[in-house]
Amino acid sequence: MRWQEILDRFRPATAPGGAAESAAHAAARTGIAVELAPVFAALDEDLAAAAALAASGEAGAEERVARARAAGAEVIAAARAEAPAREAVAATAVREAAATGDARLLEEAQARAHALQAERSPRIDEAADAVVNRLVAGLRGTS
């Protein structure tokens, strides 16, 4: 449409005069579909190309999803197959660590016991003997 014809879209709807409507849109008389038909016709080729591109993208995405699912299934199957062996290795490591820790704790306890025995005073034995003798004498009634 040429720029000079733009005002033709708004023509008086009735004869010029005082109480008449000022204008009616030309699209109401000719229809928007008729006016826009060339625009949509020009877009048909682009719409077809976009639809083909979308279909190709969907097919590619479906193929990638299928490959990813297959790869995931393989990883899961391999993990399930390896699980018992890995569990056995882990259990052995835990048992060895526990045994090593137990042996170390036993050695530390023995070292502490020896240290306590070395630190005790010989007078403790004499005092313990005296206490026991008094208790025995008290029980016999010969204090």
pLDDT at residue 5 is higher than 70 = no
Rounded to whole angstroms, the Cα distance separating 56 from 49 reads: 11
pLDDT tens sequence across 55-110: 999 999 999 999 999 999 999 999 999 999 999 999 999 999 988 888 888 888 88
Q: Within 13 Å and on the Cβ side, how many CA atoms surround 40?
A: 6
For residues 140 and 143, give the distance between their C-alpha atoms in angstroms, rounded to a whole number: 8
Q: Supply the pLDDT for residue 21.
A: 47
pLDDT at 119 over 50: yes
Residue bearing the bigger pLDDT, 37 or 8: 37
Confidence of residue 20 (pLDDT cuts 50, 70, 90): very low
Helices and strands of the chain, counted as H and E runs = 3, 2
In DSSP terms, 25 is beta-bridged to 10
Mean pLDDT of the chain: 81
Q: For the whole prediction, is pTM greater than 0.85?
A: no
What mean pLDDT do residues 27-36 have? 66
The pLDDT value given to residue 3: 58
Residues 6+ apart with CB under 8 A from 55: none
H helix or E strand, kind and range, residue 25:
strand 24-25
